[in-house]
Structure 1
C-alpha cells in the first residue's frame, strides 16, 4: 500500500513538472533570463557575444518546448554554450556603502514552476560570480550630461514591424532597462513583472506600425513617471499632420477651461477666449475622456495626467473637432477648426514674445516677485540688489528654472543647509542601488542673508529641476510653499532610442535628507491652492493672490 502511494505521489510530481507552459509564460521568462545574462554573465556583459543574435537563435527553440521540463532544458543548454563562468572570491560589501534595495529582487531565478533545480542553481551561481568589469551595454557617469546610457546596441536599418523577432527584441530591451536601471520601479501602480506578462500579447499581435507604437507607448506609461515622454518619428512620405486647438487649457471639475490664447486671430474668429468652458469633445464628456486615456499618457500622479490630457484631447489628425461649450448656463455645440503647430501656436512664435516678461520686479506693498523661468544665473546679482530690502520675495517656480537655485540659496540662507539625497545604480550588481555619499547642501555662511518671507509657487508644471529648485530654496529660514502638487519626477533622464521612436525615464533617485520620497508625491505645498473656473474667467492668478494674502496677513 505504501509503495502504491509513493508511486502515485511520484507520478503527480512528474506530471506537474511536465505540464504545458504557455507561449506567454515562455516569452516572459526568456525576457528575464536574457536580460539577467546581459548584465550578469561574464561572457555576455563584457560584449563577447552578439546578444541580439543569441536571442533570435534561442526563440525558435523556446517556441518548440512543450513542457516546463523541455523549456528549462533549452535554457540550461543555452547558458552552457555561453562558456564557463569561473568561480571567484566572494564579492564583499564595500566599506561605507549603504544600499537601497527596494527595487532589487532576483527571487524569480528560483521559481520552481518554471525552472528545474539545476537551472535555478546555475542562475544563482552566475549571480554570485557575476561580471565585475566595465559593462558593455550600459554606462553610468555622473560627469556625463547623459548620465545613464545604453551602449553598443545594434541599430537595424531595415527594421520591419512585420519581423516578430525585432518587435520582441524592442520589448525585451526596454523592459530590462527599466528592470535594472529605473530607480522607482517599486513605486509603480502595477508590478513590472505583471506589466511584462500583459504587454507581450500586444507586441506579438501587432500587425502594423500603429499597433506596435501603441503597444510601446502603453508600456512606457506603466512606469508612472512624469519624465516619460514617448515621441514617434514621422514616417517618410506620411501625409499625417497633427493639428491643434489655438489655446492652452486646464481641466477643472471635469471641464476643460481655456487659460491662455496661443493664436489671437484664430481664437477670436471662433469666439475662443480665456475662461471658455468645454464640456464635450466629439460627443464625449471630459469625464469619459479622463477615464479612457489613462493607459496612453505617462504621469507620476493625477495632476500631471490631467495637465497632459488637455493637449492630447484637443489635438488630432483631422481638420476640425466638435466641441460642446458651457456659455451663460447653456450648452452649445459647435464645430471648431484645428490648425498645424505653427499656426495654432502663433503667439509663441512671435519674435521677442517672451522678452516682454520681467525677470524680477517689486510689487505693491514692497513685495518682490521673481519669474524663475526667465531668470538666469547672470541676473541673480541684480535681482538681489533690487529685492534685498523687500519684506517678502515670491519665487514663481510654476515653470522650468535655469540653474539659479544655488546662487539664490546663498542669498536666502545664513549657512549651508542640507536639502537632498540621491541613489545611483550599482553597475557591479545591476538592479541594486547605492545611496550617494553625503547629503547635497546649498547656501553658505552669510550674516547678511535675506530676512524677509520667502514664498515658492508650484503646481503640476513644476517638474524635475523645478522640484529640485523648490527643495533647495525651501531651506530658507522663513520659506513657505504655496500652490498644488508638483509633477513628482525629479532627477536626470535616460533616453531609450529605437527604430521609429524615442522615449525617456528618470535615471537616478532623488529624496529629502531624511530619505522621504519625492517621486510621484512631488513637492507638497504648505498651503494648497488650485485655480478655479471663476478665477480664470475673472483673469485672476489665484495662487499668486493667495501668496500675497499670506504675506500681508500672515495666514
Structure 2
C-alpha cells in the first residue's frame, strides 16, 4: 500500500547490462550517496553504502530509520530496469539483514510498470517480516506481463529499525535476465498515429441526434466484438484504440445505413481473412453464455463477416486480455491510460466508454446482476461522454457509468483534483456511519480536532447548511458505486461533511435534543479519512479467562502456533471480521474448526478464448481429517466493513457447524479484483470472478447473511458500547 505512492520514475533508454545495475553495491560513487542507478524513494530515512556490514564483497546498502518518525512512513532504495527482454516469470532475489524492526516491516520490493500505469507491485507487506535477523536470502516472484515497460527493484523498510541489503539477482524464467530473449515488438505498440489526438469532430458544439447516438453505440459494440474476437487483434497486430478513430471518422460522416455498412465492411477487410474456424461448444450448465444474438441484426453484409470472426479459432495468448494465474480473473493488459490527458478529447472520451462497456460485456462475472439492458446503458452514455464539457464532467460521467455495474470493488481510484473541488477539498475531523438510518458520529479521524468540533459519538446529523440529509444522499447516489444500499451509504458517509468552505452549519440530534452548531473543516493534509482503518490495538486477546478474541485486521498466520494452546482451552472464540484481513486466516485458523474437509465455495471463471462465457470451477474445500477439531462456540461478527477477502473468510468459517455469524449486511463484493484503466489516467476495477456457496447461492450484492442480526444503536454508540461484541459474548455464555 505504501509503495504504491511511489510514482517517480527515471527515463532509461539504453540496454542495461548486469554490471550497470550495480546489484551488489560494489561500485559506490562515494560512501555518502547511493550509487547509480539506485535512487531513493520515501523520505527521512538514511540511505547509504555500508562498507563495514555486508553479506559479501566490499559493500552493502543500509537503510536506517530516523529517531523521530513524525509523518515519515518508509525508506526504500529502488533500481529502475528497462524491460527489453521477454519471458513468463520475473524473480528478484536478495540478501537482507535487519535489526530493531519492531513495527511495520522489512523486505524486498518490486514494482512492474507499463507505459503509463503500475501493472504489479509487491512491497513485502504481506509477508510481515520484522524483528532482528542475520543475513538471509529472500525472493519475490511475479508474472512478467508482455506490456511491462520498466521494473523497479530494491529493498524497503517501514517503521523503525535498520536493514542492510546485498547481492541482488534479477532472474527471468529461472535464469539471469541478461540471458532472456529480446522482448517481442508488437505492431500494436508501434502505432503512434493518434498520440496527439483522435481528430474526431464530436463533443460540445456538435450536438448528437438520437439516430447519431444509436449509430455510435452500434459502432462501440462492433468495435469491442472485433477487439476481443479477431485472431489478428489477439496477435497484437492492431492498436484497437487507434483503429476506433480510423473507422469512426468515415463512419460518423456517412450519410446513410448503406454507407455505414460499407465503411465497417472495408474496415474489417484490413484485419485479414479468418484462417481457421472452430466449433465453439457452449456448456449447457454455463452460468453466463455469450450474448451475441445481435450479430444477426447488423446488416446482410456485416452479419456473415462478424459471424465468421465469432467462429475464428482462438487458442493462443491475446494481446488485450488474459487470465491471472491461479485465480482466473481477467487481466486487461496493454491498455493505455493516456495519463497526460486530464481532459481527453471527444474521441478518447468515446474510447473510454467503449473500452469499459466491452470489458463488462464480456468479462464481468456478475453482469446479470446489473439488472438492466446493458446495451441501453451504452446508448445512454454515448452523448454523456461525448458532450462532457470539462475534466470534472468527464470524470463524473465515468463514475456514473461505473456505478451502474453495482459492484463495491468498482470506483474511481486515486487522487483527482477536479473531483475534490466538486465534492469538497476540506473535511470534518469526525467519522460518520449510518446508524438507525441516520448519519451518526462514531469516532474521530483526528482526536484533537474532533474534540474541538464539539461533536460527540452518538450525535446524529439532521441537516447540513440547511439541506436535508435525504436530499444530499439523492444527489450523491448516482456517483457512488456500490453493490448494495448499505455499502452505498457507507461510501457516502465521509462525503457528507465535506466542502470547499472552511466551515459547515449543521443541525444535530444529541440524546433527543436538536441543536444547531458550526464545525470547522480541514484539508486532507490534516484529516486522514483512513485513520480508523482496521483500528484495533491487538490482533488477539482473552476476554475474561475463557473467551478468545481474534481480530484478522492485525492477525498474522505466523502468530497462530503460539496462540493455539490458549484457543484450544477456551470455551468460545470470537472472530471480529469487521475489517480486512492482513493474512489468509481462513486457511490457517479455519481448518482447526472442521473434523474433515468440507466444500465452502465455488467460482465462475470467464474465458479469454470465448468472451462472454462463464463456467463453474470445482468446489474448494477447507480442512482435512482432524478428530481434534475445536469444539467450542465460534462467533463471527460481520458488518459493512466486511468486504471481499473478509467476506470470503466468513464463508470459509461458516463451513463449520459450530460457527454462528452475527452482525449486519456485508459489502456484497467478492472475487479477485481486476484493475481497469481508462483514458485520462482513470483507474477502476471489477470483481473478476464469481463467488458462490457450494449450493449455488450468490454472494455478490447480497453479502454474508448473518444468522443473528445485531446492529449498533445510537444510544449504544453514545455510551461507547460495542453491541455486536456484547451479543457475541452472550451467545458464547449461553444467554
TM-score, length basis structure 1: 0.88
Of residues 503, 511, 518 in structure 2, which corresponds to 1:320? 503
**Is 1:174–2:360 an aligned residue pair?**
no
Partner of 1:547: 728
Partner of 1:104: 290
Could you tell me how far 1:161 is from its partner in structure 2? 2.7
What do residues 229-277 of structure 1 show as CA deviations (whole Å, max 9, x unaligned)? 21254459x9998222212111124421111122122122221121112
Helix, strand or coil for the counterpart of 1:546?
Answer: helix
Of residues 489, 492, 507 in structure 2, which corresponds to 1:306? 489
Q: Taking structure 1 as reference, are residues 276 and 92 closer, same or farther at Cα in structure 2, changes over 3 Å only?
A: closer
The correspondence of residues 82-481 of structure 1 with structure 2, limited to 5 A, is: 82-92=271-281, 100-102=286-288, 104-111=290-297, 115-143=298-326, 148-156=330-338, 158-159=340-341, 161=343, 163-234=345-416, 242-345=425-528, 348=531, 357-364=537-544, 366-401=546-581, 402-436=583-617, 438-481=618-661
Of residues 700, 717, 728 in structure 2, which corresponds to 1:519? 700
Bigger mean CA deviation after superposition, 307-316 or 419-428:
307-316
What do residues 404-444 of structure 1 show as CA deviations (whole Å, max 9, x unaligned)? 111101211111111010111111101111222x2111112
Helix, strand or coil for the counterpart of 1:88?
Answer: coil
Bigger mean CA deviation after superposition, 391-400 or 257-266:
257-266
- Structure 1 Cα separation of the partners of residues 721 and 535 of structure 2: 22
Q: Taking structure 1 as reference, are residues 354 and 477 closer, same or farther at Cα in structure 2, changes over 3 Å only?
A: closer
- Structure 1 Cα separation of the partners of residues 701 and 556 of structure 2: 28
- Structure 2 Cα separation of the partners of residues 453 and 548 of structure 1: 10
What do residues 482-512 of structure 1 show as CA deviations (whole Å, max 9, x unaligned)? 0111111111111112323211111111111
- The CA RMSD measured in Å over matched residues stands at 2.5
What do residues 354-394 of structure 1 show as CA deviations (whole Å, max 9, x unaligned)? 89712222223722211121111011122321121211111
Runs of 4+ in 1 over 6 A off after TM superposition: 238-241, 353-356
- Which structure has more relative contact order (CA 8 Å, sep 6+)? It is 1
TM-score, length basis structure 2: 0.68
Structure richer in helix, relative to its length = 1
- Structure 2 Cα separation of the partners of residues 174 and 63 of structure 1: 21
Helix, strand or coil for the counterpart of 1:553?
Answer: coil
Could you tell me how far 1:314 is from its partner in structure 2? 2.0
Structure richer in strand, relative to its length = 2
Q: Report the number of matched residues.
A: 523
**Is 1:32–2:218 an aligned residue pair?**
no
Gaps in structure 1 of 5+ consecutive residues: 1-19
Helix, strand or coil for the counterpart of 2:666?
Answer: coil
Gaps in structure 2 of 5+ consecutive residues: 1-208
Bigger mean CA deviation after superposition, 417-426 or 493-502:
493-502
Helix, strand or coil for the counterpart of 2:291?
Answer: coil
Partner of 1:6: none
- Structure 1 Cα separation of the partners of residues 728 and 284 of structure 2: 40
Could you tell me how far 1:143 is from its partner in structure 2? 4.0
Could you tell me how far 1:149 is from its partner in structure 2? 2.2
- Structure 1 Cα separation of the partners of residues 252 and 534 of structure 2: 58
What do residues 52-78 of structure 1 show as CA deviations (whole Å, max 9, x unaligned)? 222111112221233333323322222
Helix, strand or coil for the counterpart of 1:388?
Answer: helix
